[in-house]
Every structure is written in C-alpha cells, then in structure tokens.
Amino acid sequence: MDNSSIADNFSLLSKLMDIHGDNSFKAKSYAAAAFTIDKLPAELSELDPEKIFVIRGIGDTIGKKILEQIETGRLLALDEYLAKTPPGIIEMLRIKGLGPKKISTIWKELESENLGELLYACNENRLTLYKGFGEKTQQNIKEAIEFYLGSLGSHLYQQIEPFVESVTRKLTEEFSGQQFIVTGSFRRQMEIIEIPEWVTDLDINELCEFFTHHEYECITGDNGYVTVQGKDNMVLGFFCCEASELYQRLFTTSCSAAFLDAWQEKTGWQPTDIFSSEEDIFKAAGIAFIPAFGREDARVIDAYRTGTPREVIQPGDIRGIIHTHSKWSDGSHTIEQMARSAMAQGYEYLVISDHSRSAFYANGLDEARLEAQHREIDELNRMLTPFRIFKSIESDILNDGNLDYPAEVLARFDLVIASVHSNLKMTEDKAMARLLQAIQNPYTSILGHMTGRLLLSRAGYPVDHQKIIDACAAHQVVIELNAHPRRLDMDWRWIPAALDKGVLISIDPDSHSADSFSDCRFGVLAAQKGGLTRENNLSSFSLPEFEAFLQTQHAKR
Ligand SMILES: [Zn+2]
Ligand SMILES: [Zn+2]
C-alpha cells in the first residue's frame, strides 16, 4: 500500500467516526495522521518498521495501524465502520460542502440515507429545519448534488485514454482483419467523455459473444449500435456496419449533431453514399479536410470551404514550460530538478511560478524567501545556459482584485501569473470585479485558470468571458489555457473569441512536479478544438521570442 492509500483510509476512518458521533479526540488524531502521511517524502512501506513509530505525529496506535495496512492491505477499524454505515451516507462525503457533522444530521435527524432522498428533501426545503443549514447552505448542497449526479458515468479524457487504447488493441488482436476505429466524443478530443465509441465491421453477434464471454452485458439498439456494460459500470459503444460503410459511418459518428446537420444542409450529403475514406467525403463536397476535433461548430464548414484552413497547434509545438511550482511552495521537485527535466525533454525555458504569500496553505513565498529563491535561479541560469529559467510567481488575486505584493516586489519578477485561489464562491459581479482589477494591474502578464473550474467536481465561478477577453486585449494580458486535464481552463470554446481580439493564449501545465510537463498535450488537444495556432500560443514562442514578449510586458510597468 502506498502512502496516499494509507492516508485516505485514515481520513475516511476519521470522517466515519465523526458521522457516527464517536470519540472525537481519536477521530482528530486519525485526520492529523492522514495529513502527516500525505506529506511524507518517503514511502512508509519501504521504511524499517521502527522508523515509522518515531515519525513526528505518529504514535503507538497509529503506527500499529500503519503496519496493519502495509501487512494486510486492510484497516480493520475502517472495515467495521464501513459495515455499519449505509453506502448512500458514505457517498455523501463526495458532495462539496457536506462534512461529517452535516452528514450526521442528515442521516440521524432528517433520516435521509442517500443522495436522491437528500436532493428531494432540499427541493422541499426540509434541510433548513435543522441546525447548521440555512437557506443558502441548502441551495449550495442541492446544486452540488445535481452537479455530482450529472457527472456520474462521465470521465476525463485523460482518465479514459489508456482504457480506450487498450480496448482497441485487444479487439484488434482478437479479431485480426477487422477494423476498430475510435469515434464519437473521444475522437473529437472532448474534455469529458461519457461513452467511448468505436466503428467496426465486425459482425454484431460476434462482438456481443465476445463481450458476454468477458462478463459484459450487451444491449443492441437501432442501426447496428451496441452498448456493452461492465461490472464497473463502464459503458462502451460500437457502431457495427458493413466494411463498405465504414468510412461514412466513421464520419457521421465523429461529428457533433450541429455540425452534421449543417453538413447535410450545405453539401447535400446522403448517409447512404459510399466512400472509401473520410478524405474522399470532403473531396466530394469540395471542402478541405476538417479533422474530427474541429467538427463541433457548423461555422467551421464555411471557414474550410472558402479559405486555406489555419494550421492548428500540435503537441510538438510547445517550446517552453510556463507555470510551474517547485519545492519552494507546494511542488515536489527542486528548481534544478525541474529545469534539468525540461532540458532533457528539449524545452528551451522554464517559468517558475510558485505560490505567493497569501497562499499559506501552499507554503507561499514571503519577501525574504523570494530573495533567496531568486539567488538560486540566478545561480542555476549561470550553470545551465543557454537554457533559461524565468522568475515568476503565481500571485493570488486577493479579494479586492489586488495582487499579493507591493509594486516594488512585483517589479522583481520576469512575469506575473495572476490567479484566484481563495473565496471561489462568488457572484458573477464579484468575480468580474476581482478579475478585471487584476487584469488592469500593469504587472499581470498571464491570467491563470480563469474560472477555477475542476472538471467533473467543481463548476467554477461565473464569469463574462467576452468582457474578460476584451479587457485582456486592452491590457495585453495573456489568457492561460491551464493544461491540467481536470482544469482545461479557459474553456476551448472561447479561443476563437480570444483570437478575434488578438489575445494570446498560453498552454501551461501548472506542474507541481517534473513529471507532469507532458500534461501540456491535454491542453493542446483542447486548444486544437478552438482552432489555436502555434503563433497565438505563448508557450510555443522560442526563447528569443519569449524574451521579446517580456520586453513588451515590462514596457507596461
Ligand atoms: Zn493556481
Ligand atoms: Zn499553479
């Protein structure tokens, strides 16, 4: 068992004890242990057992329970609590804003045992009858449950990618000579995938036989569409067709509904027409080939009919790693480790942007530590030249929209990334006031993760995208496309509007370790959907181009 699983077990145990109203002193000590273990640099399972007992914050009881987990893979005390708690109550812990105390009230007093019941109780305003639940809280809980239920059965692109690849590989091995081509939302590189889908010329009965044999349930629908569902609730979709129909089937299932409607209208396309490749479909229509990722918005069709299509950005076009955290704040590697890793992967520069002082939970940097960090970067730059490390900060945008340091400190950075990290619960007016204030600050070069959304778990605060884009254009601020697969924020749907205004985008990995620069690829896949080009992406700038960009930024100050 690794540290994070052990920490998760202690954390869950602590919460369940609180829900049951048991020994709160003990519950607190398990929560504290979870926190400590999560932060440990070494794996507990690799330590000498004696060493475990002397770690600060881990006493005899916790130490024994750690050994129990390493040896047996289980935590008996947790199993006992799990056995006496309804699954619906445990699931409530996944709802934002519902802690053990509130869940205890919901279970014991309101007598709701699952999310469906609780949602119903919210609709009937019953929650407000209990201590600790105002109208506002009830509304928040209701929205959080709706959000959670709406996202069940959905997957992040990055989460499902290895699965899709392995299914394709296995099927191709099993049925040599048959085609299994990925289609649907996955082929369109959507950030969230509900059902991964394939087009195949395999006989429908053979397909079902195969999956039934592997304990999947097989449901045949219309038009040769088959869904198969595994025990883990994973659903896969297959469009079965004749070999001669493969490509028109691939085409129609790779377009959004709006795109396909417009396509039929504009080209007179008949689904019964036979083609031997997707390229032929476009040739016949007299329209340049539109890759599947671009088949979302109907307007794309006209753009590809009339002009030479713009060459969209490719994963290999990232030349610098912008927005990274080192050990100085909440990252797990030193600046040197980050820089050497970036160099080894062929990048030309690295922008270190640790957290600013208000982010105390992330070990944000005060002025004294900043000075020391900058000395370290100077030293490394001498050593690693021509590779360059730039001094940056991910400055919190404070409640009033100001950045986290006075101007004379901000002036010491090569560039400033401004992001909201606290008080995320805002009305649109409040969020806009805060963001616009930060954009106007002459030290702001990049606006970080614009909405604060976390895909499938947090909706993000409401913003007026167009107004932000306009303000960024007016103040020469770059908008980040945070490439973390759970963020992908700003949403790619707004890239065309940003390009219209001449606003640069920056695909940034927001790396907290040297191993996650590759997340840039997820940012690129999303950016392709918005038609981003290399020229409009800051992190595709060469080192001299990036230095010239900094010059123009410093002229604002
Ligand atoms: Zn951030
Ligand atoms: Zn960050």
Average pLDDT over residues 210-237: 90
Residue 419 Cα to ligand 1 midpoint, Å, equals 6
Question: For 214-240, what is the mean pLDDT?
Answer: 90
pLDDT of 382 strictly over 90: yes
Ligand 2 geometric centre to CA of 325 (Å): 6
Q: Which ligand is nearest to the CA of 354?
A: 2
Per-residue pLDDT, 146: 79
516-530 mean pLDDT? 97
For the chain, counts of helices (H) and of strands (E): 24, 14
What token pair was written down for 557? 């100050």
pLDDT for 205 beyond 90? yes
Average pLDDT over residues 389-413: 97
Cα 238 to Cα 219, 254, 519: the distances in Å are 10, 13, 29
CA of 264 to the centre of ligand 1 (A): 43
Give me the helix-helix angle, 428-440 and 465-474, nearest 10°.
10
CA dihedral sign of residues 20, 21, 23, 28: positive
* 43 Rama class: left (phi>0) / alpha (psi -120 to 50) / beta: beta
Ordered domains of the chain (ranges, CATH): 1-85 (1.10.150.110), 94-152 (1.10.150.20), 157-306 (3.30.460.10), 315-554 (3.20.20.140)
CA of 435 to the centre of ligand 1 (A): 14
Q: Are the C-beta atoms of 390 and 349 separated by less than 8 Å?
A: yes
pLDDT digits (tens, 9 = 90+) for 231-281: 767 899 999 999 999 999 999 999 999 999 999 999 988 877 889 999 999
Contact 498, 466 (CB under 8 A): no
| Residue 359 alpha carbon to ligand 1 centre in Å | 10
* pLDDT tens track for 31-66: 999 999 998 988 999 989 888 998 888 889 999 999
Closest ligand to the CA of 330: 2
Which ligand lies nearest to the CA atom of residue 331 in the structure?
2
| Ligand of minimum distance to the alpha carbon of 359 | 1
What confidence category does residue 425 fall into, taking pLDDT thresholds of 50, 70 and 90?
Answer: confident
Q: How far does residue 11's CA lie from ligand 2's centre (Å)?
A: 25
Tell me, in angstroms, the distance from the centre of ligand 2 to residue 105's CA: 36
Measured in Å, residue 51 CA sits from the centre of ligand 2 at 34
> 141-165, pLDDT tens digit by residue?
988 887 787 677 888 899 899 999 9
Distance 550 CA to ligand 1 centre (A): 21
Spacing, Cα 373 to ligand 1 middle (Å): 19
Question: What is the overall mean pLDDT for the chain?
Answer: 94
Contacts 24+ apart (CB under 8 A), 137-146: 137/97, 140/96, 140/97, 140/425, 141/95, 141/97, 141/98, 144/95, 144/96, 144/97, 144/98, 145/95, 145/115, 145/118, 145/119, 146/119
Distance 138 CA to ligand 1 centre (A): 28
Strands 180-183 and 197-200: antiparallel
Question: From ligand 2's centre to the CA of 416, what distance in Å?
Answer: 12
Looking at residue 369, its amino acid is: R
Q: Measure CA of the first residue to CA of the last residue in the chain; give whole Å.
A: 51
C-alpha of residue 370 to centroid of ligand 2, in Å: 16
Closest CA to 489 of 528, 451, 461: 451
Segment 168-191 mean pLDDT = 97
- The pTM (predicted TM-score) of the whole model is 0.79
What 3-state DSSP class applies to 458? strand
How large is the average pLDDT for residues 415-443?
Answer: 96
Cα separation values, 229 from 152, 166, 241, Å: 15, 16, 20
CA of 52 to the centre of ligand 1 (A): 33
Name residue 33's amino acid. Answer: A
Cα 479 to ligand 2 centre (Å): 14
The string of DSSP letters for 418-432 reads EE--S-----HHHHH
Lowest mean pLDDT among 112-126, 277-291, 417-431: 112-126
State the pLDDT confidence band at 126, using cuts at 50, 70 and 90: confident
What pLDDT sits at residue 232? 67
* Residue whose structure tokens are 């490509």: 247
Task: Over range 71-89, report the average pLDDT.
Answer: 95
Indicate whether 354 pLDDT > 90.
Answer: yes
Give the Å distance between the CA of 333 and the centre of ligand 2: 14
Residue 150, pLDDT score: 67
pLDDT tens digits, 314-339: 999 999 999 999 999 988 899 999 99
Q: Rounded to the nearest 10 degrees, what angle do helices 335-344 and 367-384 cross at?
A: 30
